[in-house]
Amino acid sequence: MMNPKIQDAINEQINAEMYSAYLYLSMAQYFEAEGLAGFANWFKIQFQEEQAHATIFMNYINQRGGRVLLKAIEAVPTEWESPMAAFVNTLEHEKKVTALINNLYTMALEEQDYATRDRLTWFVNEQVEEEDNCRTLIDKLRMIGDNGMGLYMLNTELAARNYTAPSALSAE
């Protein structure tokens, strides 16, 4: 039987991961409309990764004999002023997710739920990577400025990104 407080908090986290998935899918559609298919590809992979994050938490609740309860996903923005604005939004959003994961980690410690704490360690490290990837792309866009050739090259670079299932998903 799962600690009900932890179960509720993980169900909230599943919703937050699904919101992230929906946000990045929306960004992918924005970039498609802008003719930047490489950027759209990058965000479609983000979309897949976020769905995997939600799945890892769902698998975990089920493994512990708990109950997954899916809630409504909040509406997401559909327009951004520029590629830079979309990545700044992504970084701000990932910082919020990092705070949620940290709060969950603190709760697991307080509730002496060590299995949950152990599962969360993967997410703590994943958030470091998410924020770093985003900062790197913001730095590249800053270098590019309004240089069309630079944007063309970054679009080509981002088109080459492939989806790899997160290790925590295959470990289930």
Q: Write out the residues near Mg ion by the rule CB under 5 A.
A: 17, 20, 50, 53
* H or E element, residue 14: helix 4-33
Compute the least distance from the CB of residue 53 to Mg ion, in Å. Answer: 4
Q: Give the pair of three-digit tokens for residue 157.
A: 């670079």
Q: Compare residues 59 and 150 and give the one whose CB is closer to Mg ion.
A: 59
Q: Compare residues 53 and 117 and give the one whose CB is closer to Mg ion.
A: 53
Distance, in Å, from the CA atom of 2 to the CA atom of 143, rounded to the nearest integer, reads 49
Q: Compare residues 2 and 14 and give the one whose CB is closer to Mg ion.
A: 14
Sort residue 162 into left (φ over 0), alpha (ψ -120 to 50) or beta: beta
C-alpha gyration radius of the chain: 17
Compute the least distance from the CB of residue 135 to Mg ion, in Å. Answer: 16
Q: Compare residues 23 and 151 and give the one whose CB is closer to Mg ion.
A: 23
- AA identity, residue 11: N
Compute the least distance from the CB of residue 129 to Mg ion, in Å. Answer: 10
Compute the least distance from the CB of residue 106 to Mg ion, in Å. Answer: 18
